[in-house]
Structure 1
Amino acid sequence: MRYPTRTAQNGRALLLRGVGVAWPNGIVPYEIAPGYSNEQELIITSAMRQLENTVAINNFRCVQFRPKISSDPYYITIVNEQGCSSYVGQNPHVVLNRTVTLQSSGCLTAGVIMHELLHALGFEHEQSRPDRDNYVRINWDNIQREMQYNFDKYDNIRVNTLNTPYDYRSLMHYGSTAFSINDSPTIEPIQSGVTIGQRNNLSAIDIQAVRLFYNCTASGITLPPTTTLSTANLYTTNAAYSSVLTANSRRFSRAGEENSNYYYEVFQVTVPTSGYYRFRSNSIVDTYCYLYTNNFIPSSPTLNLLAQDDDTGGSLQFQFTLYLQSTVVYMLVVTTYSQNIIGPYTVIASGLTRVNFVPITNTSIVSSTTNVPIGK
């Protein structure tokens, strides 16, 4: 996260008492600087579509990212440079490059991209709320000195919480060891039994905050393509694939995990028609899912990662919605939230057209060039 040299900042559920942070009409023009492959640009734009559709109300636009045009006075520039960071808000009349930095190694997952885009929209870290000391402890001695500004707390004179509750599940909340100098916790929840620092999708309170900040309503302009997300046409064509994770299933270290005791199965996924598609699980076990573009390499589980989800579908089931292209082969990896868990599951896909599932059995690398027949 980065700041202009002369602007007070808005934050996640921390609305600046002033003007100039929000983008007019919720529209954020963007350009993607040279330095990304076509596949990497696809991951970035897919994350944009995911954020747009997550906060939209009945497909009526709340915020929108679109390529910049010559008449746009302000726009964000997405660059493949070191780290994951973004300036906060639009900040008109401030001279600066409104840069969103997404390093190709480490930052190109949907959750991380949406985190930075929320900064660009004008949202801060959850642990910067005025009431944060009632919910978390900040261990200053464990924080890298040059990164301590990320843990600053803002008072009610500068910000407005929009009357939203503190949200441990916010996409904008740091994890427990963020910027640690010694692997010890830098931030600890006071409430027991809660997890902080997820990078899967916006929480319900994140969605509420964006809608409040940008005055979103169930009217106005619809997001393109309108037919794929209208109530009458939403996900009317379905496909399902059932399988079982067993003690003989392959195991790997999930993205973000060090232990290699997660059973998984992987499927090649293609769609005949580009559009929005939804994937969800139905299982007696706590499922987890990853979606990759073109290649899935078990030994490098963050490479080509497009999206991941744990329990957006409720009842410990994954669910996510993405814009998929007919010209791209995707790899869907089904695993579990906890280690050493086995059991049956069903993946249910829905969208404009029937989704093709092909189970992949290669144990070392899964590629779009794998010669397999089209499945159900």
Structure 2
Amino acid sequence: MSVILRNHFAPPADPAALRENWIAALLPIFQATLPSGRLLSGPIAMDNYHLGDLLVGEVRAPAQILERTPRMVAQQGLDHLLLQFYHSGTSRVEVAWGETDVTANACILFDLAQPVTVVAEPVHATNLLLPRALVAEKVPNVEALHGHAFDYASDRISRLFFTCVRELVDCVDVLEIHQLPHVSQAVAMLGSACLRGQAADRPSSDTQLSITIRQYIEKELASPRLDAETLAEHFGLSRATLYRQFVAEGGVQRFIRERRLLRAMKMLTQPGPAGRPRVSAVAYATGFSDEKTFSRAFKRRFGFLPRETEVGSSVWGRTTDAQPVLQSWLRELAA
């Protein structure tokens, strides 16, 4: 039986609550502003499916303005890419380098580590949200594609990529959890092939530095020597400059601890072919010096001990944090 996690938004029974509920549903990714003084028209729905390393889904959205402000970007600290394949509808996307129009049969890429404003008419789209790390090594300067749109219907590789994501949404109910790592890898590889064919300029140096530091942290999480001093020395930064990159996360050490614990949760709930690892092995693999320190930190974060985790469960299902499901998924993704 399939155990794929689904996050579903459907219009509430009370039409008066629709506007507020829709805004809340989008808040983990966008701040939404809906036209005032008029009823929301057209079908409104959104589905997201958690496939372990990425999310896929579909959205039917009303006319709206979507924003990721610099403050929102800094506060959330997301390092993910969102690709939307438009079936119908139009949008105007505004980023630092300029503006672009998105229409049917176009795919738009959003780098969630950068600000953006989207002025949209009613839209129907298929979504793919994945950690930057899944494609970063194969797509140089993928962050430079932020806000760029490309026609997925005319280019064969792009069409193949879209068809894969679209079919994945349609067949998600028959997938099994052991298939997810292979599916995610295939989607990431195909997406990398598609995105390599797109050209764009580099982002600002400050944005690039923030992204590069976070990529380095993800790669070095297993090292117990990973700390603020090591990062400052590696990147040639002062402690003050480094800390400014992580103000929204409460500092670099807190950010590293959070990433370590989320990766540990993933290792415990989504074991590999060799089965579920020992708690001590997870502790060392995520940079903790000993099992006792790891277990104490894990319980403070999630409210239960590492040995009490269940295979196939999700962080959002048991975390003590009061936050929307989609927000928890984003924090968990790529842990």
TM-score, length-normalised on structure 2? 0.31
Q: Which has the higher helix share?
A: 2
Which structure has more strand as a fraction of its residues? 1
